């Protein structure tokens, strides 16, 4: 075996999805005896509380850690202490290079907070993950990009081809717990070199990790292999390199669903061994027809409509293409602002605004957004008090509603320049004006509802008399 220039090992690949592979033809770590022995050894260190927590996470019923300002400040202080301690070890070699390039980049508050949230504010684990992040970033992108936000401009043609084929997609819908879903269509696997596929996944995971909800809630991965293969086969090397990304990204896998048309223990065993104890108990393997698998995933809170496959398991790339386009539009917006000397830190990249957010705009998208529906409910609850209040009282009610939404993690967002990828935070003055307008709209809706209810009651009374 020999290493390529990117550090990846070239070897004769094992086809995970071959109908049958003799045990003696497998690498040692994939043979039954080795697998069982190692699994038994590692399971000795797993307690019942950890197993129970994994069950909750798999089914989407675990609650994220509730943050408060004191916890954040203490966590950042402890993280700084552990980074200072660990950077003196071999693991901190690349971090020191990054620190010399830009102390501002590596010490950025929001950047460090991502790693704390992934590890539930365990400062030592967060520090290790942060150092591993820079190691992996250097391996994939080079030293000159250690303190640079990676964009699509950093992709070469082969990276872009791996991204565009849609083998990996961030789905339009979240699961029942509000977690992002990452879909891996094994049948569509296409890449020139392993590094192209790995860089593509690194980029996509890094982008969704910018979302605060995703930092707290984590992601759900769905690996799907049903029907005919249209790309290249999935081998051991690519699988291992993809698994190795997990500890080098500011994002946490909460569950991993392996969906196969037929039983496939070879791939399952490989993942169980190499993903380690932290993820092993969050893996669920399912088998069956396409429709059966969709129904199984629904029991784990993953909606059928989220899976981008038609009835014959052909991929639907519509949303994936729009996701890529939004990435390009967002990066173009930031470039334009930079050229014009404008700020860019008030522009957010959002695949879908969070459920807690209120979005400005017309049409069904805004009307049906969860955050807007919640605001409508709050307005109806406060309508009587608002109607009876004077102008100062109305202002206080509006201010209280705004504060309540923000305290719950919600934001007021508006598309920037009509660009569906870029959302700006709306100033409070505009928010107050919107809520005042929304109160008037809700008042009309409530009056209309009462009028329709009265008409309905009169019609029923009329029918009763006629009977």
CA 80/CA 138 separation, integer angstroms: 21
For residue 3, the model assigns a pLDDT of 40
Neighbours of 52 (CB within 10 A): 12
Would the pLDDT of 10 be above 50? no
Tell me the average pLDDT of the chain. 84
For residue 457, the model assigns a pLDDT of 59
Neighbours of 275 (CB within 10 A): 18
For residue 409, the model assigns a pLDDT of 79
3-state secondary structure of 184: strand
Greater pLDDT, 454 or 102: 102
Name the residue ranges covered by the structural domains of the chain: 46-147, 149-316, 346-455
Looking at residues 204-214, what average pLDDT do you find? 90
| CB neighbour burial string for 93-125, b if at least 16 within 10 angstroms, e if fewer | ebbeebbebeeeebeeeeebbbbbbbbebbbeb
Would the pLDDT of 168 be above 90? yes
Neighbours of 325 (CB within 10 A): 12
Query: What is the tens place of the pLDDT at every residue in 432-460?
Result: 999 999 999 889 888 888 777 665 556 66
Which runs of E-coded beta strand occur in 119-204? 168-170, 180-185
> What's the whole-model pTM score?
0.77
Q: Could you tell me the CA-to-CA distances from 134 to 129, 130, 139, 455 in Å, in that order?
A: 9, 7, 8, 67
For residue 326, the model assigns a pLDDT of 82
For residue 171, the model assigns a pLDDT of 92
Q: pLDDT > 90: what percent of the chain? A: 48
Q: Which of 35-44, 78-87, 198-207 has the lowest mean pLDDT?
A: 35-44
Q: Determine the straight-line distance between the first and last CA of the chain, rounded to whole angstroms.
A: 90
Residue 11: pLDDT band by 50, 70, 90 thresholds? very low
Q: Could you tell me the CA-to-CA distances from 186 to 232, 298, 311, 406 in Å, in that order?
A: 9, 20, 17, 41
CA 265/CA 26 separation, integer angstroms: 13
Side-chain-side CA neighbours of 150 within 13 Å: the count stands at 26
CATH superfamily of 149-316: CRAL-TRIO lipid binding domain (3.40.525.10)
């Amino acid at each position: 075996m020999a290493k390529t220039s990117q550090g990846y090992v070239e070897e004769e690949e094992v086809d995970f999805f071959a109908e049958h592979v003799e045990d003696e033809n497998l690498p040692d770590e994939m043979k039954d005896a080795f697998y069982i022995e190692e699994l038994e050894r590692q399971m000795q260190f797993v307690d019942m509380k950890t197993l129970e927590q994994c069950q909750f996470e798999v089914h989407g019923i675990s609650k994220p850690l509730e943050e408060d300002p004191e916890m954040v400040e203490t966590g950042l202080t402890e993280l700084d202490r552990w980074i200072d301690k660990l950077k003196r070890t071999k693991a901190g070699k690349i971090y020191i290079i990054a620190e010399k390039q830009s102390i501002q980049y590596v010490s950025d508050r929001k950047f460090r907070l991502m790693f704390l949230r992934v590890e539930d504010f365990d400062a030592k684990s967060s520090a290790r993950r942060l150092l591993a992040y820079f190691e992996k970033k250097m391996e994939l992108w080079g030293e000159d990009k250690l303190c640079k936000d990676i964009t699509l401009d950093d992709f070469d043609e082969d990276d872009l081809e791996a991204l565009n084929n849609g083998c990996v997609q961030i789905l339009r819908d979240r699961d029942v717990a509000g977690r992002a879903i990452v879909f891996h269509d094994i049948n569509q696997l296409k890449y020139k070199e392993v590094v192209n596929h790995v860089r593509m996944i690194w980029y996509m995971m890094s982008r969704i990790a910018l979302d605060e909800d995703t930092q707290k809630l984590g992601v759900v991965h769905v690996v799907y292999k049903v029907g005919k293969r249209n790309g290249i086969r999935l081998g051991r090397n690519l699988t291992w390199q993809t698994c190795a990304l997990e500890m080098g990204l500011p994002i946490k896998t909460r569950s991993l669903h392996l969906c196969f048309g037929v039983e496939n223990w070879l791939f399952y065993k490989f993942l169980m061994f190499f993903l380690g104890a932290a993820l092993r108990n969050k893996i669920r393997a399912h088998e069956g027809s396409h429709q059966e698998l969709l129904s199984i995933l629904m029991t784990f809170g993953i909606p059928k409509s989220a899976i981008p496959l038609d009835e014959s398991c052909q991929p639907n790339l519509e949303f994936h293409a729009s996701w890529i386009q939004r990435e390009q539009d967002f990066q173009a917006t930031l470039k334009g602002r930079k050229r014009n000397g404008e700020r860019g830190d008030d522009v957010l990249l959002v695949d879908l605004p969070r459920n807690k957010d209120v979005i400005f705009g017309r049409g069904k998208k805004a009307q049906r957004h969860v955050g807007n529906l919640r605001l409508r409910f709050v307005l109806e609850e406060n309508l009587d008090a608002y109607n009876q209040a004077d102008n100062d009282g109305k202002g206080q009610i509006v201010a209280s509603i705004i504060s309540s939404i923000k305290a719950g993690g919600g934001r007021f967002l508006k598309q920037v320049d009509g660009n569906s990828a870029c959302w700006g935070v709306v100033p409070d003055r505009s928010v107050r004006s919107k809520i005042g307008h929304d109160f008037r709209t809700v008042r009309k809706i409530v009056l209309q509802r009462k009028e329709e209810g009265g008409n309905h009651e009169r019609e029923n009374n009329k029918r009763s008399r006629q009977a």
